[in-house]
Amino acid sequence: MTGRFSNPQAVPSDSAPLYEQVRHQIQMLVLGRPLSDMTPLPPESQLIESLGVSRGTLRRAIEDLVREGLLRTVQGSGTFVNPDERVRRVVWNRLREVARPDSRFDMNLQKFVPDFADRHLADATVQSLDAWINADVVFIAPDNSTEALRLHALADGKAVLVPTYGLTRGFVLLKGNLIKAVDRGLAATLDGMERFGKRLGPADLAEAGHVDVIVTGATAVTMNGQHIGGGQRYLALEINLMRDLDVVNDLVPVIAVVHDCQVIAETVQAKPECAVEIIVTPTRIIRCGTKTNIRKLTVKSNG
């Protein structure tokens, strides 16, 4: 269901229970701090006094934020902010201004990586990069912001490897030279790709050959190349699967296509899904310094 849970930052109504109002106040406090600030929340007694609420209400509010992943409590040392989740929430807030709704999830940004205003300007930049031009096989994440690049790749006759949403049905391999011009637009969508591509599970993923470049959207990306996804860590899982099957090597370039508001200048102690080599936005291109080394920088996902 969409609606009240689609935006964790929605202001609770006046008739909402007190703990929801307190949850909102604490969230605002946390999101208002610099993204690099890792100091714990003030002690419980101090919050009780400053917010003017009971211990029970405060605990209920904090428990909710812990369950949502924004906070974590460490026995004996206090309540801390989860830096990845804080980045996500700050960026989702900004993205609401420029994002395009999803065909199913509307503006529930926890569920998908949205397309955004002026994205075509970023696409043009990606298409001018050697890493893109020289690639025969491209991995393109199933993000709405990368749909048009899937179309361009197919038009260029490239092979495109796309995971299904949530990896529920493995990967789909689309071969640009086998898809008719009239079908390309359809084949580039999540709705249409399975009509044209071959579905590949872990057993036959090697059929994709060797991926020359990874193109992905992101919830956020830091200037030094940390890819922060939606929280389910699908990209990390996909890259690990491909690496285990030798579909990608450790030096494959990763290009992240994002809106300028998704680029984080601060140093964040995040748990990135992978390292990004080049960030492309509608207005600029950021080379993140070090060469991608997936082995070093990809955090192994659980399970």
Q: Binding to another protein by residue 106, rule CB under 8 A? A: yes
CA distance 104 to 231: 19
From the CB of 121, what's the least distance to another protein, in Å?
17
Backbone region of residue 75 per phi and psi (left: phi > 0; alpha: psi in -120 to 50; beta: other values): beta
Q: Binding to another protein by residue 283, rule CB under 8 A? A: no
Q: What is the DSSP letter of 223?
A: T
Of 15, 130, 182, 300, the residue at the interface with another protein (CB under 8 A) is 182
Pairing of strands 137-140, 159-163: parallel
Contacts of 70 (CB under 8 A, 6+ apart): 8, 27, 30, 81, 82, 85, 86, 89
Stretch touching another protein by CB under 8 A, among 56-64, 81-89, 185-193, 282-290 = 185-193
Of 190, 211, 241, 256, the residue at the interface with another protein (CB under 8 A) is 190
CA distance 105 to 272: 25
Which of 181, 190, 263 shows the shortest CA–CA distance to 225? 263
From the CB of 155, what's the least distance to another protein, in Å?
11
Token pair recorded at residue 154:
């197919």
From the CB of 142, what's the least distance to another protein, in Å?
8
255 — phi, psi (to 5°)?
-110, 125
Of 89, 119, 158, 184, the residue at the interface with another protein (CB under 8 A) is 184
Q: Binding to another protein by residue 98, rule CB under 8 A? A: no
Question: In a 3-state reduction of DSSP, which class is residue 149?
Answer: helix
Q: Binding to another protein by residue 4, rule CB under 8 A? A: yes
Q: Binding to another protein by residue 103, rule CB under 8 A? A: yes
Nearer residue to another protein within complex by CB, 3 or 32? 3
Nearer residue to another protein within complex by CB, 115 or 277? 115
Q: Binding to another protein by residue 80, rule CB under 8 A? A: no
Find out whether 289 and 225 touch, Cβ atoms under 8 Å: yes
| Stretch 109-138 residues interacting with another protein (CB under 8 A) | 111-112
Nearer residue to another protein within complex by CB, 235 or 274? 235
The residue ranges that bind another protein (CB under 8 A) are 1-4, 101-106, 111-112, 144, 147, 164-166, 168-169, 181-186, 188-194
